Amino acid sequence: MKDLFFFDSHCRIGSNCMGHSPVPDIPTLFEEMDRFGVDRALIRHIGIDKGALWTNREVSAFLREDPAHRLTGVWCILPSQCDELPEPDVFFALMKEARVGAITLSPFGHNYIPCRLTLGRILDAATERKIPVLLDAFAGKWQELYHFLEEFPRLRCIYLEGSGRWGTDRYLRPLLENYPEFHFSTGGYWVPEGICDLAERYGANRILFGSGLPRFLPGSGMLQLKQSGLDPQSLAMIAGKNLSRLLEEAQL
């Protein structure tokens, strides 16, 4: 019997700006998930800087290749001023229809400043509806992330580490301490006993398992979590239950 249910919060798929990727399609993704024992995944497009609208369509197409519903999609948002996306209520209804459960943003690739002036309309609506917002665009951009969260302090968000460097706790802990809806994914977080210490201090409900695929393979993150010293209940929460709960609570 499988000991843990793993729901990957940090998984990218598709072709990047160079036209290739280690995980270009759904069959390849499922091979990797099955090889390591990952049950479900929250997927976003690896080539998001090629355009929000195009990658949103690609994510929807990927989800149609998943009849077992092991995958949940992530769509990218844009500022409201250029009328590229429909009004929030319509956009969220389209998300639900496409089996998309979270949103992300790419301000530094899509040429705008991430603030209330540009994103207030859609992010205020997302906050009200408890829709998870992935903050992968801010990986390593700590000053920009701090300013962003000052403007959206109640946003239900998930920070995704991208650098894979050691020792980001001095950046992460003030955010966990001051923003109750701030969560972070373990992909790329390599701190011995760090996950256990963070769970004890801020709550295991704030931490989500993430592989970092395709940059990192799931096995290393899964092993780190299993050997973290966490109690079984906290371990199960971080491995998959926390992400399942966040997606279930979203009011799409």
In a domain? residue 2: no
For position 153, which CATH number holds?
A: 3.20.20.140
In a domain? residue 1: no
Residues of the chain with pLDDT below 50 are: 1
Quote the CA–CA distance of 59 and 166 in Å, as a whole number.
Answer: 31
Question: pTM above 0.85?
Answer: yes
In a domain? residue 181: yes
In a domain? residue 62: yes
pLDDT value at position 1?
A: 44
pLDDT tens for 154-188 read: 999 999 987 656 678 999 999 999 999 999 999 88
What is the number of structural domains in the chain? 1
| Structural domain range at position 85 | 7-249
Residue 238 structure tokens: 């971080």
In a domain? residue 32: yes
* Residue 155 half-sphere exposure toward CB, CA atoms < 13 A: 29
In a domain? residue 219: yes
